Amino acid sequence: MPENPSSLSAKPSTWQDIAARKQAQRASLIPPEWTLSTSVLNASQKNALSPKSAWRTANILTPWELDLTDSHDATSLLGLLTTGALKSEDVVRAFCKRAAIAQQLTNCLTEIMFDSAIERAKELDTHFARTGRPLGPLHGLPISMKDTFWITGFDTSVGIAGFCFKPATENAALVELLLSLGAVIHAKTNVPQTMMALDSHNNVFGRTLNPQNNALTAGGSSGGEGALIAMRGSVLGVGTDVGGSIRIPAGCNGLFAIKPSVGFVPSAGQQGGSKPGASKLALEAVAGPLATSRRDCELFMRVVADARPGRFDADAIVPSWKNMDGVTQRNLTIGIVRTDGHVKPLPPVRKLMDEVANILGRSGEGIEVIEVDLSHILPKVLKVFNGLMSIDGSKTWFDHLAITGEPLSPWLQGRLVQRPQKTVDQIRELQAQRMELQKEFLRIWEESGGCWLTNNSIKTQAGRTLDAFIMPLAPHPILPIDRWNTVNYTASLNLLDLSTGVIPVRACTEEDSQGSVFNIKAANGWDQINQEHWTKVDLKTYVGSPLSVQVVTPRLTEKRLADIMSVVDVALRTKYNSASSKL
């Protein structure tokens, strides 16, 4: 059993001592019969490309549990749980086992909640047996959550030693909402130190590994969530995103995801490391789903919207799902954005965008594909984003670390530097610039916006508007640990507050580099670093890693986004014979 938190908090501790005790507490919550043998762990470590399969020889899961966790997404499971065809206890136990395995292989968990999750599942089964009805639309479904969310009785340490052994005394708004819908929360997942890094490493829990290839990053800041779902230790997960923190881990792990607009999903009740109210002055993080299927992301957004989230969070502003505008049966106009105008995409990304444009234009679904140039505005957006990301000059984070003498994690060293805090007038000016950029961007959706370059369309009509645009997730493939270069392609969409989804398309192949000569002069320092990811690495590093795209619609158009993601996903899967089978 873990030590009593009250006794722990009374002990003077170094960050190393706190980390050791926190890791011991976490390890003690994995049942011995769910523990992988040394031989299995060694076999997995020797082959960085097979952590997804090396553990299967351990026989921790029964054949039925293996099939259940391998074969179902959240939507299909709910079809069985809400009709009584499956018991929640059986489903939750199977995913808890698989989460335990994922933890041992990828170090993706922070708080293990298996015992309480199984007890809740039993209560839900009792409710169904007594009433003949599910508790709600998420009845009995195991869901994992990023460590930022408060859950009563569990730490929200976000990998900071000074936050450990201080369990939450209330639930976050989204936790309350999900529980009211019948969900079962079985684990919280790892994040990078300060949540301002793109590789999920911190001094308390260590580094989360990419389950497909341990040499590549699992992403951040929702990296633990991405790794857990990729290992099928969770069927549906919740991350947060202020500059790419849902989308980058989704891309790194070959998952679907949605970054909603601010106010769509309740966000109150989280540990963000900043002072209360600071997000209202800078940029607000949003919560959203990561999953193995597109329809699971839509499921999450729909049930959250229909649950009247304003009951749980005063900032929630979303109408019910059925009252939102979706996509009717008509032709779509989709823009292709190939570059952010700041960092040029590497050959595999350029080739991917060519393929996506061609597939959509020839899909037979009536999609009109338009080339869209955003290079005149996205660099300006990025500059304002960077200004708003640290209005206190990172002072608050450095103060948190100073309590126990924690050093910065590797990716942050040299990147996170304490600077003077911005004045009220400086913050006001940045917010004014943000409002002007949002206003300017409204014209992008209209043909009169002046950035539509060419028309490879199957139809022509006057006064067109874009239904969505598609752009790369990053200017490079999934990179090795601690090498992720830039958030240009994701962060700009946060500042503009656009509804955005991620679709995994296919795996990177050896052919992606053949015949692709990258000899364009670097435009800036970020561009130079990006080119070095191509000119100074063994290109075999990227083979097999997932390539994904972002689908983008205007602010608070999540239903339209989900509809268009469905159209795009079907078109791409038809061509590639299912994106998931290629990853």
Q: Which domains does the chain have, with CATH numbers?
A: 147-583 (3.90.1300.10)
Of the candidates 221, 409, 492, 499, the residue annotated as catalytic is: 221
Of the candidates 146, 259, 575, 582, the residue annotated as catalytic is: 146
| Total H helices, total E strands in the chain | 19, 14
Average pLDDT for runs of 10 along the chain of length 583: 42 88 98 94 74 81 97 98 98 98 97 98 98 98 98 98 98 98 98 96 98 95 98 98 98 98 96 91 96 98 95 88 84 96 95 97 89 96 95 96 96 93 97 98 90 62 83 97 92 98 97 75 92 91 96 97 96 74 40
Give the integer Cα–Cα distance in Å for 184 and 34: 20
**Residue-level pLDDT at 5:** 41
Q: Minimal CA–CA distance to 476: which of 549, 533, 520, 527?
A: 533
Active site residue 221: yes
Helix (H) or strand (E) holding 239: strand 237-241
Helix (H) or strand (E) holding 502: strand 499-507
Give yes or no for a contact between 347 and 512, defined as CB atoms under 8 angstroms apart.
yes
Positive or negative, the CA dihedral 184, 186, 189, 194 is: positive
Active site residue 245: yes
Give yes or no for a contact between 200 and 106, defined as CB atoms under 8 angstroms apart.
no
Of the candidates 144, 234, 245, 274, the residue annotated as catalytic is: 245
DSSP string across 262-322: TTSS---SB--SSPTTHHHHS---EEEEEESSHHHHHHHHHHHHHT-GGGT-TT--PPPGG
Give the integer Cα–Cα distance in Å for 207 and 224: 9
Structure tokens at 517: 């000569």
Q: Minimal CA–CA distance to 352: which of 366, 334, 338?
A: 338
**Residue-level pLDDT at 18:** 98
Positive or negative, the CA dihedral 332, 338, 342, 346 is: positive
**Residue-level pLDDT at 556:** 94
The four Cα atoms 255, 69, 297, 191 give a dihedral, to 10 degrees, of -60
**Residue-level pLDDT at 418:** 94
Known binding-site residue numbers for substrate: 195, 221, 242-245
